[in-house]
Amino acid sequence: MKKSNGQFKFVDCLLILMMLLPIAAGILLKVLTTPQKEGIVIEGAMIYCKIPFPVMPILITETQVNSWLIIISIIGLALYLTHGIRAGVETKRQYLAEWIVESCQKMVGSNMGGYFAGFAPFITAMLGLSAFSSLMSLTGLFPPTSDLNTTAGWAVLTFILITYYKMKCGPLVYLKSFADPPALTPLNIISEVATPISMAFRHYGNVLSGSVISVLVAAGLGGLSQTLLGKLPGFFGEFPFLRIGLPAVLSVYFDVFSGLLQAYIFAMLTMLYVAGAFPEEEYFKRHPKKGNA
């Protein structure tokens, strides 16, 4: 029994390391590769290397590396929460895992209906990846959601799902939907194309703007502190006292609250767009056997 308990704790330690080590590795990589800079510097993801390719080089950027680090950490978290779950044994991690699963299933069921119940894992993964990507800024790492390529990729995936479910009744029904009513056909086409664009820019813009505002406020308070208190002797004249407090409050809002809110909004829009794209009545009219199943 003791040997079994020791093995269980050992696996738990490995899973905890699987959650923490990727983030630590990302911080170490950033420290080793980021050159020293003076003043306010606002730039995109760092390019680590370029892989030659016939059409154009493949760039390995900070966004891709940090995204994979987040994925590894999330996998470690999922394995940790489900490690040792079995019938008849109740633990706090089991309660947390069940709460996450039940909450996401309930959210998908209430917003998408029973037909889309299988979307719960997809929405859960999207929520987790988006939330943890935005929270990466708390560790000093570049948040992948501050890169338009990340949010655009998610938006394109959502657009593919929307188009797939709109075509469940056939391509002809899908094309006819653009002419409903005929006078608004150009606007319907524009609206179709604008859906992934608006989703991508909304998420990307909110996360990036929060990071930019936090950096500008912190830099401004540092300069103001130097102007007002710079003549004080020694340490008191060099330390940016005015930067204490306000940047931390802004970080709580922009990095935590706004990041989690944008993750929820993106997942909610995905559910509503996909569910709203499915012509349920027309589909079951054409496939009565599936409706009676």
- Cβ-defined contacts of 56-63 (< 8 Å, 24+): 61/147, 62/30, 62/141, 62/142, 63/142, 63/144, 63/147, 63/149, 63/150
State the DSSP code for 36.
P
Summarize pLDDT for 169-224 with one digit per residue, the tens: 778 878 888 887 888 888 888 988 899 999 999 888 888 877 777 777 777 777 77
Helix (H) or strand (E) holding 50: strand 47-51
Rg of the chain (C-alpha set): 24
**Could you state, in order of their start, the residue ranges of all structural domains in the chain?**
2-292
Summarize pLDDT for 248-291 with one digit per residue, the tens: 677 777 778 888 888 999 999 999 999 888 877 777 777 676 65
Amino acid 1: pLDDT: 46
> The whole model's pTM is what?
0.83
The span from the CA of 14 to the CA of 83, in Å, is: 11
